Amino acid sequence: MELYPWQTELWQKVADMRSRMPHALLLQGHRGIGKLHFAVRLSQSLLCEQPLPGHAACGVCQSCNWFQQDNHPDFRLLEPEDVESTADEESSAPAKTSKKSQIAVDQVRELGDFLGLSSHRSGLRIILMHPAEALNLASANALLKMLEEPPPAVLFLLVTHQPQRLLPTIRSRCNVIDMPLPARSMAETWLAAQGVQQASQRLAYAGGAPLTAVQEEAGADKRLAELHAMLNHGAQMDPFAAAALCVRDGVAEVVSVMQKWVYDLLSLHLAGQLRYHGLQAESLQGLAKRVDLAKLLDFQRTLDEARRHAQHPLNADLQLESLLIQYTQVFSTTSRP
C-alpha cells in the first residue's frame, strides 16, 4: 500500500536517515492519521534489499516477499495480546470477555531470543511496538533495559498517540518524530476521493484525522442499515424497543431516515417506483403492499412536522415512541394481493 499523501514529506525526512538510523524511533501524533501504516512501510523499506529511488520498498526482493507474507525473520510486531479475563468455565456466557489492552512483559522478554540471533539478511532487525502506550510498567521496564544497552543493528520503532503515558525514561531514549495532522484541504481531497460524503464536515467531526473520518462514515452506514432493519419489521415492530434502540441517534436523524423510508413506501404503493432504497427494494415492496394510504399520508405529515421541531425535542424518548407507534399503524391488518 502506498503512503498517505500527507506523509510523503515526513517520509523523505525519516527515510533519508536510513544510513544513520538511531536505535529507537518514537512516532507520535493524533489517532487516525496513519502512524502505524507509516511505521510498517518504513520497516519494509529499511529491510528491503534494493529500495527504489525515494526509499520505497521494491516489493519483489526476498526481504519484501517475506515482509508481505508477514513472515520476515528480522521483523517483529509487538501488539497487545489477548488477556483472557479470569476464566470461569462453569458459566457459558456467550460474551467471552477477552480484552486487548497490554503488551505483556513476556512479550518483551521473548525479544531477548530474537535479538540474540544474528539477522537473516540485511543485518538490520526491527521491532515495531504498537501502540506503545500499551506497555505496562513491567514490560516498559524490560524494554528500557534493552534501550539502555541497545544491541547493534536493531531498530525499535514505537508508535503512540498518547506519548504522555510512556515512561519518560523510554521517551528520552527514543528519537521522537512528531507526525502532524494533515493539512485540511489535503485531507478533504483525499476523503472525497475515497467516496466519503460531506468530507469537510466528517473531517471536522473527526478532529482533523482522516482515517477516523473514514471509520466513522463506515459506522454510520452500519447504523443506517440497523435503522432500516428496524423499519423493515413494519407492523410487527415493537415501537418501544425500537425507540429505545434509536434514541441515541437523535430525533432529527431518525426522522430523516423515516422520511426517506416513507417516501419510498408511498412511491412504491402509488407508482411502483422507489428513489432512495434500491438495496431494500424487495422488502419495501412487501411492506408497500400492506400500507393504508390515508394513514401513510397522515404519517408523512406528522414526520414533516416532527422534522421542523426536531432540533428541540422536549422528550426524545416519548416523541420517538409516538412516531414509531404511528409507523406500525400505517400497515393494514389484512394484506392485499
Please report, as ranges, the residues that interact with Zn ion according to CB under 5 A: 48, 57-58, 61, 64
Q: Closer to Zn ion at the Cβ: 48 or 330?
A: 48
User: Edge to edge, what strands does the sheet with 175-179 contain?
Assistant: 75-78, 125-129, 154-160, 24-29, 175-179
CA angle 73, 76, 77 (to 5 degrees): 145
In whole angstroms, what is the distance from residue 135 CA to residue 129 CA? 9
In whole angstroms, what is the distance from residue 29 CA to residue 27 CA? 7
- Give Cα separations from 241 to 152, 223, 246, 319, 326 (angstroms): 62, 16, 9, 13, 14
- Give me the least distance between CB of 101 and Zn ion, in Å please: 35
- What residues contact 80, with CB distance under 8 A and at least 6 apart? 100, 101, 102, 103, 131, 134
Q: Closer to Zn ion at the Cβ: 56 or 167?
A: 56
Q: Closer to Zn ion at the Cβ: 38 or 190?
A: 38
Q: Closer to Zn ion at the Cβ: 60 or 204?
A: 60
- Give me the least distance between CB of 47 and Zn ion, in Å please: 8
Q: Closer to Zn ion at the Cβ: 73 or 180?
A: 73
Q: Closer to Zn ion at the Cβ: 61 or 252?
A: 61
Contact 152, 125 (CB under 8 A): no
- Give me the least distance between CB of 79 and Zn ion, in Å please: 24
Q: Closer to Zn ion at the Cβ: 61 or 297?
A: 61
- What residues contact 276, with CB distance under 8 A and at least 6 apart? 260, 261, 263, 264
- Give me the least distance between CB of 89 and Zn ion, in Å please: 48
Please confirm whether the linkage preceding 51 is cis (ω < 30° from 0): no
- Give me the least distance between CB of 41 and Zn ion, in Å please: 12
- Give me the least distance between CB of 122 and Zn ion, in Å please: 10
Return the number of other C-beta atoms located less than 10 Å from residue 25's C-beta: 22
- Return contacts of 64-72, CB within 8 angstroms, 24+ apart: 67/43, 68/44, 72/47
- Give me the least distance between CB of 58 and Zn ion, in Å please: 3
